[in-house]
Structure 1
Amino acid sequence: MKHTRFFGKTVLACTFILAMIGWGVGFYGPPIYMQAVMERTGWPIAQVSTAVTLHFLSGTIIIANLPRFYARFGIPTIILLGSIVLGIGVNIWAQASQLWVLYAGAVCSGVGWVTLGAAAVNTLIAPWYVKERPKALGKAYNGASMGGVVFSPLWVWLIEGFGFATAALLISLAAVLIIGTFAFLVFNKSPRSLGQHPDDADQPDPVIPATGAAPWTAMQTLKVANFRTLATGMSLGLFAQIGLIAHLYSILAGRMGAHDASLAMGLATASAMGGRYIAARLMTQGINRRLLACLGYAIQMVGTLMLLGLDRHPSVAWTAMVLIGSGIGNATSLPPLIAQTEFSREHTARVIALMVAISQGSYAFAPAFFGLVRAAFSHPNQAIAAVVTAVVAVQALAILSFYRGASARPIRVRPVEHRHQR
């Protein structure tokens, strides 16, 4: 019997909240954890920022194996286990008294976070939306941006009021409770189990038979110039962005205070939703998507350079956060959309997967790299200037890489070409 209400809407709403929690704890949380750990222990910035790098790096191994874990244990089980491991990791961050313990906590938090990240969002939405999938994914990913808006000030308020250990315990318990409820009341259902069809259609779309196209190997993908410029641009852009975000809260807190700094971080992530909306409108008007990526990073560069005025005019941070935040969402969502226009449908999935894996493996080292840059200068203003200079240089290289492929012709590899290869 078919439900009168399309259950996909419920899945979408719960996925939005899942993304908000996942990114709020696992993505926007580590910069705040880093500052809290330094204040509690007095450990050097270079050593603590290495924990942020371990957090992001450890998740790359799990991402590659998530489809296999989903198939063996089921999506609800993996999501619940991931939230538990994330909670354990954050609690270790809050109580670690030795560096190796902190690093172990970073591995746990990184492994747990990716089970609530982009792969989970795509996996949960895919069965329920086909034609409307881009719009549905956009709505779900707005939860990621909302995670920064809500959790950045929430973490600071709880840490200042109750201490890092209590804040970590409260948020992790709430996260496990909410995600566990979703996992076994919402995410365990499929359109078929409820007698429904994707996109709330009366009938399912006809299945198109396979064309017999041979798989495109990773080595073949790496040889294509379009892919190299696209993957390089995405990796460089995210390297600059993740590295800056990892240190941004501690930089702002030293000039604005913890409360205003957390609100500024929230403003940046709120701006990401606006940036994603404007980018979508421009794409519907036919703008070259690579040039759109160049424009986005150019705007971020202006915002990054404005951080040089923090010492004399702390209020400049608010404008800087809007400009920097405008590209946060597009840095991850725009390159796959570029790939869809430059590669055939048969190869787009592999191109995107390889591109995301390369970029995450690259930007995982950004927090530690910029931590070393900060540690090389004893004066705070010099350290900020060095970080800003490094970020802008990497952003400029990202723009160059995207621009080099802006006039390239789309890659269309016909299945028939592969059928005759032996």
Structure 2
Amino acid sequence: MARGFFGWQVVAAAFILAMCSWGINFYGPSVFLHALHLREGWSLSLISAAITLHFIASAVVVTRLPSLHRRFGPVAVTRGGMLCCCLGLLGWGFAAAPWMLVPAALLTAAGWAVTSGAAINAYVAPWFDRRRPAALAMAYNGASMGGVVFTPVWALLIGGLGFAWASLAVALAALAVTWPLAGRWFGRTPAALGLFADGGTAAPPPRPMPAPAGPLWRQRGFRTLALAFALGLTAQMGLLTTLFSIMAPALGPQGAGLAVSLTTACAVVGRTVVGTMLPPGMNRRVAGVLNFLLQMTGSVLLALAAGQSVPLLLTGTVLFGLGLGNLLSLPPLIAQREWPAEQVTAVIALVTAVNQAFYAFGPGMFGAALEVWGPAAPPLLAAGLQLAAATVLAIRVR
């Protein structure tokens, strides 16, 4: 591999974009919910409805990402997306009436759609073939770092400035970082620089691919891929939402917070291990099935702990966390092997749309399960969804 290969700079830039985008659009909504409820006294269900709108609207927009890139170019789309994120963030922060949450949610939805997982894959994938698992793992680790970095920053700024001015500070900082970053690293292609994938001296030999079998929705491979990861991410989003409440009786508030942070740290470890050690000849759906089963095991242990047994809670948290990050990085790797290169971006955009349409309802569903049936219910529900996801994904395993 060539020394100083520009593709690794693109990975670093994608890491930073992911950190900013997830920090605002994925980890931010839980902060918005708490801050607006305290400041305005609005009901949690009303604010949660706006958050659901944020994810659902984003699922609609993300299907247009490939055409937006073709028409306007990745630099303009990324800059426009981050501008929407930041304007929407100000809408959340300065909202003085419930109706103001609607335009705020639509703006952050538009920005999230064009700066989230499908976009990260679109920027990184052209630069790597053999090394794509490791490159995507490194880039997507920025998503996990968004939670590690932004969550305490949100708490610090809101405590010192209030939610409105904290949102302004985060918006300005994110825009100042990502605007020049997009222009420097996302507007170039390997061909334009006379480079080849992985920093090699020649283009990799093309893999034999079957001819496209009609629209994606009619392809069994696409349906199983999209549904499996939609189920897995619904389980993941819902369990993460309730995890603090499940942990708190046994660990106390501080211990529960540390345990949730441990989950995020394990996500980075798990994604990095899979990205760097995935055998080149392995069927990547098998890796996905094993990942779902690992998370299912962790969820079952959390259910058995019932919020009381500390060793079981921590073991379950680690196993669940190790599979956390791979639900983002595995779909592009599976798509790389199952579709021609020119179709992969469209496949991932549509998979992302399906995922978001499903997991938008995860927090409400798991919160209701916790309220009605107690702390064992959310992890049991997650385990059932993860088993279903593994079963669906295995349909295409040969």
Indicate the TM-score class for this superposition, using the shorter chain for normalisation.
0.7 to 0.9
C-alpha change, 1:366 and 1:265, in structure 2 (3 Å) is: same
SS of corresponding position for 1:43: coil
Partner letter of residue 22 of structure 1? S
For 2:163 and 2:123, the matched residues in 1 are separated by: 32
1:25-77 deviations in Å (ceiling 9; x for gaps): 21122112211222222222222222221121111122111111111111111
Partner letter of residue 296 of structure 2? A
Instruction: Please state if 1:398 is matched with 2:386.
Output: yes
State the partner residue of 1:239.
234
The Cα of 1:19 is off from its aligned counterpart by: 1.1
> Are the equivalent residues in 2 in contact too, given 1:242–1:363 (CA < 8 A)?
yes
State the partner residue of 2:377.
389
Match 2:357 to one of 340, 354, 361: 361
Partner letter of residue 325 of structure 1? G
Count of matched residue positions in the alignment of Structure 1 and Structure 2: 392
Most deviating of 212-221 and 22-31:
212-221
Matches within 5 A, 1:253-402: 256-257=252-253, 263-279=258-274, 283-284=278-279, 288-289=286-287, 291-302=289-300, 304-305=302-303, 308-309=306-307, 321-335=317-331, 337=333, 343=338, 349=344, 354-370=350-366, 373=368, 383=371, 385-386=373-374, 389-402=377-390
The Cα of 1:205 is off from its aligned counterpart by: 4.3
The Cα of 1:407 is off from its aligned counterpart by: 7.1
The Cα of 1:174 is off from its aligned counterpart by: 0.7
State the partner residue of 2:78.
79
State the partner residue of 2:142.
143
> Are the equivalent residues in 1 in contact too, given 2:137–2:272 (CA < 8 A)?
no
Matches within 5 A, 1:179-198: 179-198=178-197
Matches within 5 A, 1:122-201: 122-201=121-200
State the partner residue of 1:38.
37
C-alpha change, 1:78 and 1:247, in structure 2 (3 Å) is: farther
Q: Any stretches of 5+ residues in structure 1 without a counterpart?
A: 375-381, 411-422
> Are the equivalent residues in 2 in contact too, given 1:52–1:246 (CA < 8 A)?
no
Q: Any stretches of 5+ residues in structure 2 without a counterpart?
A: none
Partner letter of residue 61 of structure 1? V
Most deviating of 110-119 and 126-135:
126-135
SS of corresponding position for 1:126: helix
> Are the equivalent residues in 2 in contact too, given 1:235–1:363 (CA < 8 A)?
yes
Instruction: Please state if 1:61 is matched with 2:57.
Output: no
> Are the equivalent residues in 1 in contact too, given 2:133–2:276 (CA < 8 A)?
no
1:178-217 deviations in Å (ceiling 9; x for gaps): 10111122222333333333322234446x5998935432
SS of corresponding position for 1:131: coil
State the partner residue of 1:115.
114
The Cα of 1:269 is off from its aligned counterpart by: 1.5
For 1:248 and 1:292, the matched residues in 2 are separated by: 22
RMSD: 3.6
Most deviating of 191-200 and 211-220:
211-220
Partner letter of residue 12 of structure 2? A
Partner letter of residue 364 of structure 1? A
For 2:244 and 2:158, the matched residues in 1 are separated by: 14
For 2:187 and 2:393, the matched residues in 1 are separated by: 42
Instruction: Please state if 1:11 is matched with 2:6.
Output: no
TM-score, normalization: structure 2? 0.83
C-alpha change, 1:93 and 1:101, in structure 2 (3 Å) is: same
Partner letter of residue 393 of structure 1? L
For 1:154 and 1:318, the matched residues in 2 are separated by: 26
For 1:286 and 1:65, the matched residues in 2 are separated by: 32
Partner letter of residue 24 of structure 2? V
For 2:61 and 2:351, the matched residues in 1 are separated by: 16
> Are the equivalent residues in 2 in contact too, given 1:307–1:316 (CA < 8 A)?
yes
> Are the equivalent residues in 1 in contact too, given 2:235–2:362 (CA < 8 A)?
yes
The Cα of 1:367 is off from its aligned counterpart by: 3.0
Partner letter of residue 328 of structure 1? L
Most deviating of 73-82 and 91-100:
91-100
The Cα of 1:79 is off from its aligned counterpart by: 0.7
